[in-house]
């Protein structure tokens, strides 16, 4: 089995870069200062009533505080948001950056029948070694001062009706297209990279480029991001008294040449705290087959276990500890400018707390090992898009019904053109290869193959062009109104739906008809018939339920003791 990415202290970025694994996870708690006021010794009934009311309010505030810590720790791998009574102080320390540094605007959400919309939050764990605390925890002296890498990337989808949460992890060693990004602080433009490792996106202007990269691949509109560094994992795990994790055998993550996180645990369940919690999140050598895919699985297990611990409402009861936790959290948290205050963090927390653990589902992007870059992975054609589509369409990944799955899909029909088509042998059409429109490499020879198929159907004037035009979906474009019928005839001959026939804007200067073979047609001479949409998450996504407290990580041979 090829080794994906670098070790926890090894080399993983494009084979040469930093490979620090868990990346982040700092966990803000909603800490605060407990203010107490005396009642002047009053003993009348009204005083008692007011004291009871204040006591109830304090109790509600404490419960809300614990809930907020819980749901926001879920959001940021063990970091809790910030709130409580010194809101303004924390609010002034909240660091914000632009949501999207790409050139493509993100689509708006489609509301459900009740007018509700989902919320998508990209969690980014940075391996930045930009201060002494992170340098001590992160190791890797040779990477001090280097561009940070987005070594943890998880998309949290809160359903429109707030009944369920879906979490999608992308392995840090995923090879894909990183779009052009502009650093708005200094105006620097980073050109698009056709085939690069996803964690490099963070160093191209900031987290807004990681957002743009996700949107470019998945088409999922992202509302917010939250980025954290190493330090908060330690403080959050300590604050809640540890997080339960499980291994099937004794494990020690250390290779003969000194690589590995150093994690050493006995078989069964252990409550990890402090730096041991960070070791768990960063362990690659020792889990499963030693690849980054199992590290992502371990991070998901940790996150769901932390949520379960926090929901017990028995840990975070010390206001002073909560205050310190919130301070540490805010110091290592950067959010998108769409989260303009700590109140917005608390609002997100209120949405999250409505969802029971049984309706939280964590998954990993379906992937395959890359043949173009050994040791790395690429999105799995078909099944990765199935998961992306389910999130875009607000379909729960746990298989249970929701308002989204109950709606009947609308059928759209494109009318046949009134413009009569010429004879096939008279229609000129150029064919170009756009099969790399999904971030994968182009399928070679597709333009020639489809031009040949057209020729066999009588379109003898079909030619090819070497100009590539990456498209996710196959499209037939025409330049003038009197070519609409001809363009539809070309589409019908190959089984391409008429909805894929488009008039090119005048600014394109297109003359004639161009057929661009998209990423949805990588093989075969007839356009593939659409498969019935499935609302079941594929097995390759390795779904884990939030209330599964029996999960246990397999241990890699050679890393037991």
pLDDT per residue over 238-253, tens digit each? 767 788 999 999 999 9
Mapping DSSP onto H, E and C, the string for 339-366 reads: CCCHHHHHHHHHHHCCCCHHHEEEEECC
Mean pLDDT of the 447-467 span: 95
The 10s digit of each residue's pLDDT in 335-361 is 999 998 888 887 887 788 788 889 999
pLDDT at 328: 67
Domain locations in the chain as residue ranges: 51-399, 424-517
Q: Give me the CATH topology for the region 424-517.
A: Alpha-Beta Plaits (3.30.70)
The 10s digit of each residue's pLDDT in 91-147 is 888 899 999 999 899 999 988 888 899 999 999 987 654 444 444 444 444 444 568
Asked if pLDDT for residue 60 goes beyond 70, the answer is no
| Residue 155 CA, distance from chain mean position | 3
pLDDT at 133: 47
* Average pLDDT over all residues of the chain: 79
pLDDT at 472: 85
What is d(CA 122, CA 23) in angstroms, rounded to the nearest whole number? 14
The 10s digit of each residue's pLDDT in 352-386 is 878 888 999 999 999 999 988 998 999 998 899 99
* CB-based contact 400:359 (threshold 8 Å): yes
Asked if pLDDT for residue 229 goes beyond 90, the answer is no
> Which parts of 323-417 are beta strand (E)?
333-336, 360-364, 367-369, 377-379
pLDDT band at 324, cuts 50/70/90? low
pLDDT at 338: 95
Contacts of 535 (CB under 8 A, 6+ apart): 390, 395, 399, 405
pLDDT at 410: 53
pLDDT at 40: 36
Mean pLDDT of the 383-410 span: 80
Any idea which architecture 51-399 has in CATH? Answer: 3-Layer(aba) Sandwich (3.40)
What is d(CA 3, CA 5) in angstroms, rounded to the nearest whole number? 6
What is d(CA 510, CA 519) in angstroms, rounded to the nearest whole number? 22
pLDDT at 413: 66
């Amino acid at each position: 089995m090829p080794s994906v990415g670098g070790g926890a202290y090894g080399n993983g970025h494009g084979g040469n870069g930093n490979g620090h694994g868990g990346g982040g996870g700092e966990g803000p708690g909603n800490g605060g200062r407990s203010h107490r006021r005396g009642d002047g010794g009053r003993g009348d009934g009204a005083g008692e009533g007011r004291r009871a009311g204040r006591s109830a309010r304090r109790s509600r505030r404490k419960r809300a505080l614990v809930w907020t810590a819980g749901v926001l720790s879920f959001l940021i791998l063990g970091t809790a948001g910030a709130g409580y009574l010194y809101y303004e102080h924390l609010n002034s320390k909240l660091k914000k950056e632009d949501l999207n540094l790409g050139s493509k605007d993100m689509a708006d959400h489609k509301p459900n029948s009740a007018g509700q919309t989902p919320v998508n939050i990209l969690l980014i764990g940075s391996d930045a070694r930009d201060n002494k605390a992170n340098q001590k925890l992160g190791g890797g002296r040779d990477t001090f001062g280097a561009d940070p890498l987005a070594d943890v990337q998880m998309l949290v989808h809160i359903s429109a009706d707030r009944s369920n949460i879906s979490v999608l992890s992308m392995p840090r060693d995923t090879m894909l297209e990183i779009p052009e990004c502009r650093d708005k602080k200094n105006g620097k433009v980073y050109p698009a990279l056709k085939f690069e490792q996803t964690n490099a996106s963070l160093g191209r202007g900031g987290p807004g480029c990681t957002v743009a990269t996700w949107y470019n691949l998945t088409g999922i509109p992202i509302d917010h991001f939250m980025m954290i560094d190493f330090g908060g994992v330690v403080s959050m795990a300590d604050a809640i008294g540890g997080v339960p994790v499980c291994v099937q055998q004794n494990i020690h993550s250390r290779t003969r040449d000194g690589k590995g996180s150093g994690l050493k645990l006995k078989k069964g369940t252990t409550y990890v705290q402090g730096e041991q919690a960070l070791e768990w999140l960063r362990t690659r050598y020792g889990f499963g087959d030693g690849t980054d895919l199992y590290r992502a699985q371990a991070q998901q297990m940790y996150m769901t276990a932390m949520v379960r611990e926090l929901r017990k409402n028995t840990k975070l009861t010390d206001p002073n500890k909560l205050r310190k936790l919130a301070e540490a959290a805010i110091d290592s948290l950067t959010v998108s400018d769409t989260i303009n205050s700590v109140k917005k963090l608390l609002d997100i927390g209120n949405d999250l707390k409505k969802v029971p653990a049984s309706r939280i589902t964590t998954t990993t992007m379906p992937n395959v090992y890359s043949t173009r870059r050994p040791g790395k992975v690429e999105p799995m054609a078909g099944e990765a898009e199935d998961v992306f589509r389910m999130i875009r369409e607000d379909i729960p990944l746990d298989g249970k019904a929701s308002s989204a799955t109950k709606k009947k899909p609308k059928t759209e029909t494109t009318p046949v053109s009134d413009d009569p088509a010429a004879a096939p042998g008279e229609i000129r059409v150029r064919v170009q290869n756009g099969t790399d429109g999904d971030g994968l490499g182009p399928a070679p020879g597709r333009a020639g193959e489809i031009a040949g198929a057209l020729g066999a159907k009588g379109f003898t004037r079909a030619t090819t062009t070497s100009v590539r035009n990456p498209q996710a979906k196959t499209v037939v474009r025409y330049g003038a109104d009197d070519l609409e019928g001809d363009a539809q005839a070309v589409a019908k001959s190959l089984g391409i739906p008429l909805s894929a026939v488009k008039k090119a804007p005048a600014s394109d200067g297109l003359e004639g008809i161009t057929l661009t073979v998209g990423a949805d047609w990588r093989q075969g001479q007839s356009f593939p018939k659409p498969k019935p949409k499935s609302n079941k998450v594929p097995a390759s996504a390795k779904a884990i339920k939030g209330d599964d407290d029996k999960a246990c990580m397999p241990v890699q041979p050679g890393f037991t003791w």
